[in-house]
Chain A
Amino acid sequence: MTVNLTLVLVMGVMLATGVYMVLERSLTRVVLGVILISNGANLMILMSGGRAGEAPLVRDYLSSEDYFDPLPQALLLTAIVIAFALVAFMLALVYRSWVIGRQDEVVDDPEDRRVAAQPVYDPEEDSEIPTETTEFDGGGGAPTEEAAEPAPDSRRARRERREGRD
């Protein structure tokens, strides 16, 4: 299989620049990066057809080796249309993001940050229950002594352990 060296170089530069731009936090650059990557991929498909040849229309005086392979071109056209639609959608998305939040950057997920910042200590699961709230003992029976007043030393030990961990 013969490959055009210029096309390979162009494809390489396009893909490398595209990847670099997608890694940016600014959304406009991400869109530009996506455009470059998709065009690089398209060039790659074009090259997979082998060397250039006659247009794939059947003519009597041409043998089968003289034609250019038409399949990559068919794939390429489909891929271009898809990439076009995706880029249009992304532009709309980026514009919307700018209109709503004046934000041209990828934003962290707030819930993700919140979960990551929450302490290991869970007040519900880790602390002693001050009052008994169960409804299974016949109408909120008197809380037991232990539950109402947890042993002070165990509570202090817990706190120390927690601080040591932090």
Chain B
Amino acid sequence: MQDELTTLIPLAVLIPLFGSAFAFAFYRQQTVQRMVTVISLLVTLVLEIALIAAVWHGETLAVHVAGWPAPWGISMVVDQFSALMLVVSSLITLAVLLYAIGQGAAEEGQDTGPVSIFYPTYLILVAGVSNAFLAGDLFNLYVGFEIFLTASYVLLTMGGGEQRIRAGVTYVVVSIISSMLFLITIGAVYAATGTVNLADLAIKLGELDDHIQLLLHVMLLVAFGIKAAVFPLAFWLPDSYPTAPAPVTAVFAGLLTKVGIYSIIRTETLLFPGTQLNTALMVVALLTMIVGILGALVQSDIKRMLSFTLISHIGYLVFGLALSSVVGMTATIYYVAHHITIQTTMFLVTGLIERRAGTSNVDRLGSLAKLSPLLAILFFVPAMNLAGIPPFSGFVGKIGMIQGGIAENTWAAWMLVAGTMITSVLTLLAVARIWSRSFWRKAEDAEDPDPLLLPKSLEHGRAANRRLMPMNLVGPTTFLVSLTVAFTVAAGPLMSFSQQAARDMYERTPYLEAVLGEERVDGVREELVEIASEIPDLDTEDDGVDDFAPVTTTTESEDGEDTYGTDDEGSE
């Protein structure tokens, strides 16, 4: 069973690609095209759920494409982290696809509806993202990046209006430059080590001179940092994302930057597990958080504001991975999955707001809570989640990072702990501003409100809801909102899953054994164990309170059992 499943791994990339070809062949029949797209994504999702079930207890599956053994052929690897990323990305791409179909149906007859190129391109995007998550070598990762980036260029400039072309030019040029940097780095890595296989690199990079290691490390981080939108490499994001149609922005914001973060995490755990750049990464994380959220506070367009909070929350992820501890990485893995979902949800809800109110500019919005209580709930839940209000999943992830930061107990980590809290409060301020203006304020008080917000009576307004927000748009959004809540409910199992994943990633032997075989790893096992033993693993069954947290609280009972276990906070 296990072996058969392993050989099926490449299908996670191939099904969307073939689906795309079929969808494109039927470009005249919109219905067939939609069916092909939905079915390909559903089959991919089923396959990926099977994969995550197979690796749930810590196994790592690797397939060598065409039977070429590891350092020479192309390998695809599924470990717990990539399986989780695959499932989450498929869930949200499916939900966004249904939303896009709903939007296409709602706008039929107008020119603004998706053109026949949308569905094939969307599937190519999904294939590229899956390929990047599965890639077992650096060059395949580059190819994955290029596949989904090229698809994203097309999706972003779809329709070719003036706004989108203007935003598209910046986006395309910046992305190409970062890809070129990545390509140059691959060349340098190959020149230095003679391999591009990630598992092989993990062994061979350690044998290089320190300064060459540092050079390659920094080059990789810069190339991925542009893609992940880390300050100061994030300036392109708020200019380009908000101009695209709502479903496209939603999937970009949710997924694309996270592929960059995924690659950074792989770089930091698999290739360069040392701690030499941690302080620099922490400074970058702090700046990303603070600059991002300050940018969000001055925006008046909801989409732009969300783009800035996206940047700011990338800072959390960089903080978590810069800790180089199992606690920090656990929280980061959980937070990546949470943040993909939450950011996509927020953009879809904004799409609904834009449809209902005719604009997404908060200065012109009002009365929405009264006109559409459902929309208010759909906005409120993910907004509070984004700000990290307990008991939502954003809180669970952040508390994990703060725990890791306190346990690290260096000046940089303490700065980050403070920065995390300040950013949380400022995020709350930003979403509260949207809430109070768009939902609680009377539309009459807004400057130049859209006529849609000023119905003759409440009944007229409610009747307009059904016309402007049909079920096939509200349905997928509601599904995503409940998925974000599910992250809270399932926080316990998910956290222990992430912890297992984090341990395996720092240990590295499971990954290397799966790709290279045990004999090759046995030769270097001692070194690997030695490096891994330097990574603090804080799980002493009491969340590290006794040994590591320098603060003592009185909430602990006599027998040392803490009464605020973070894992099951939400499920209660």
A contacts, CB < 8 Å to B: 1, 22, 27, 30, 34, 37-38, 40-42, 44-45, 47-49, 71-72, 75, 78-79, 82, 85-86, 89-90, 93-94, 96-97, 100-101, 106-107, 109, 111-112, 115, 118, 124, 133, 135
Contact = CB atoms under 8 A, between A and B. Distances in A.
28 contacts: A1-B191, A22-B177, A34-B180, A38-B183, A41-B184, A41-B187, A44-B184, A45-B183, A45-B186, A47-B187, A48-B191, A49-B190, A71-B72, A71-B190, A75-B139, A75-B196, A79-B183, A86-B176, A89-B154, A96-B165, A97-B169, A106-B169, A109-B167, A111-B301, A111-B304, A112-B239, A115-B298, A118-B298
A31 B560 CA distance: 64
A141 B153 CA distance: 55
A27 B176 CA distance: 14
B165 A97 contact: yes
B188 A44 contact: yes
A90 B172 contact: yes
Contacts of B57: none
Contacts of B320: none
A112 B299 CA distance: 9
Contact of B190 (A40, A72, A96): A72
Contacts of A82: 143, 146, 179
A41 B191 contact: no
A152 to B, nearest CB: 24
Nearest to A48: B191
B393 interface: no
A110 B247 CA distance: 23
Interface string B138-179: 010001001000100110010011100111111011001101
Contacts of B187: 41, 44-45, 47-48, 72
Chain B: interface size category:
35 or more
Nearest to A125: B433
B442 A133 contact: yes
The DSSP consensus for interface residues of chain A is helix
Contacts of B162: 100-101
A97 B176 CA distance: 18
B169 A93 contact: yes
Contact of B153 (A42, A89, A101, A135): A89
B377 to A, nearest CB: 20
A115 B299 CA distance: 7
Interface of B: 72, 139, 143, 146, 150, 153-154, 157, 160-162, 165-170, 172-173, 176-177, 179-180, 183-184, 186-188, 190-191, 196, 238-239, 242, 298-301, 304, 437, 442, 444-445
Contact of B166 (A37, A78, A107): A107
A118 B445 CA distance: 20
B176 A93 contact: no
Interface centre among A37, A89, A100, A109 (most CB of B within 10 A): A109
A48 B188 contact: yes
Nearest to B298: A115
A95 to B, nearest CB: 10
Contacts of A71: 72, 190, 196
A133 B187 CA distance: 65
A48 B304 contact: no
A47 B168 CA distance: 33
Contacts of B177: 22, 34, 37
Nearest to A18: B180
Contacts of A78: 139, 143
Contacts of A75: 139, 186, 190, 196
Contacts of A100: 160-162, 165
Contacts of A38: 180, 183
Contacts of B238: 112
Nearest 3 interchain pairs by C-beta: A48-B191, A44-B187, A45-B187
A45 B194 CA distance: 11
Nearest to A72: B190
Contact of B165 (A40, A93, A124, A133): A93
Nearest to A79: B183
A89 B190 contact: no
B176 A90 contact: yes
Contacts of A34: 173, 176-177, 180
B173 A48 contact: no
A22 B173 contact: yes
Nearest to B183: A41
A27 B173 CA distance: 10
A106 B139 contact: no
